[in-house]
Amino acid sequence: MIRLVNTALDRADAALRHAHGNGLGSARARAAAWVHVLLLDHGLLRGIWTNRREIAPGVICTNQPSPARLHRFARAGGRSVLSLRGRSAAAHHLLEEEACATAGLRLYTVNLQARKLACPARYLDLLDLFGRIERPLLIHCKSGADRTGLAAALYLMHVGQVPVEQARRQLALRYLHNRASATGILDHMLDRYTTDTADTPLPIREWFETRYDPQEITESWEATR
């Protein structure tokens, strides 16, 4: 029964994700986009609860913000938004892109996955972006738990020079990250960094450049499952 429900939801998601076409130009397209965001992208739940937290001065992490939340962020002095869901023609991105444009926010995108490690270049690009992006900054993915938790930890380690033991607390159950699930591969990556640098400290950026091997870490993670 659960499998049938999940299959039905996946089909509905696929049908509505791009039902608006490639834009929001018509009332029908806009309505389809909102139906997808509110019902299948969990927008209604995010309207009730958010895991918003300030991890450093002027750096806020959260789940996917609604257009209204983006406008409130801008009115409070916000300057930049970083979406870890990547750039696409999906409803959530089009609504966010429109809201940022009208609110005067600069929107950046980096495509990360919650259950799969990125290539070294992707993480290096993220760290470099952290160094130049204007604050106040809002960082988010869909749920604000896994991709956002990892990005928050990397920000603290790279920009704030925070020890990994403290920074990795951003990947926590209180923010809805579950290490026991498939997203635990993100914790496993930080475990490997901790082990690799136990005797010889190495900045996280240099580790990504010289030691990070996503395939090997993934195989190691799968062996523990």
% of the chain at pLDDT higher than 90:
80
Reported as a single tens digit per residue, the pLDDT across 155-184 is 999 999 999 999 999 999 999 999 999 999
Cα–Cα dist 223/82, whole Å: 33
Residue with more model confidence, 18 or 67: 67
Q: Backbone phi, then psi, for 123, in 5-degree steps? A: -70, -35
Q: What is the dihedral of CA 98, 99, 102, 103, to 10 degrees?
A: -150
Residues 165, 197: contact at Cβ < 8 Å?
A: no
| CB-count burial class (<10 Å; 0-12, 13-18, 19+) for 147 | buried
Reported as a single tens digit per residue, the pLDDT across 183-210 is 999 999 999 999 999 999 999 999 999 9
Whether residue 94 is predicted with pLDDT greater than 50 in this model: the reply is yes
Strand ranges inside 96-150, DSSP E? 106-109, 137-140
Structure tokens at 204: 């996280």
* Listed residue (142, 69, 132, 141) closest to 103, CA to CA: 69
**217: amino acid identity, one letter:** I
Q: Are strands 59-62 and 106-109 parallel, antiparallel or unpaired?
A: unpaired
pLDDT value of position 95? 94
Query: Is this structure's pTM higher than 0.95?
Result: no
**67: amino acid identity, one letter:** P
Q: How far is Cα of residue 61 from the mean position of the Cα atoms in its chain? A: 9
- Tell me the mean pLDDT in the region 111-115: 98
Q: How far is Cα of residue 92 from the mean position of the Cα atoms in its chain? A: 13
Residues 54, 76: contact at Cβ < 8 Å?
A: no
CATH fold label, 50-223: Protein-Tyrosine Phosphatase; Chain A (3.90.190)
Residues 142, 36: contact at Cβ < 8 Å?
A: no
Q: Given phi > 0 = left and psi -120 to 50 = alpha, else beta, which region is 144?
A: left
Non-local (6+) Cβ contacts of 190 within 8 A are 150, 153, 164, 168, 171
Task: Tell me the sheet residues that pair with 108.
Answer: 82
Collapsed DSSP state (helix, strand, coil) of residue 59: strand
- Tell me the mean pLDDT in the region 69-79: 98
For all residues of the chain together, what is the average pLDDT? 91
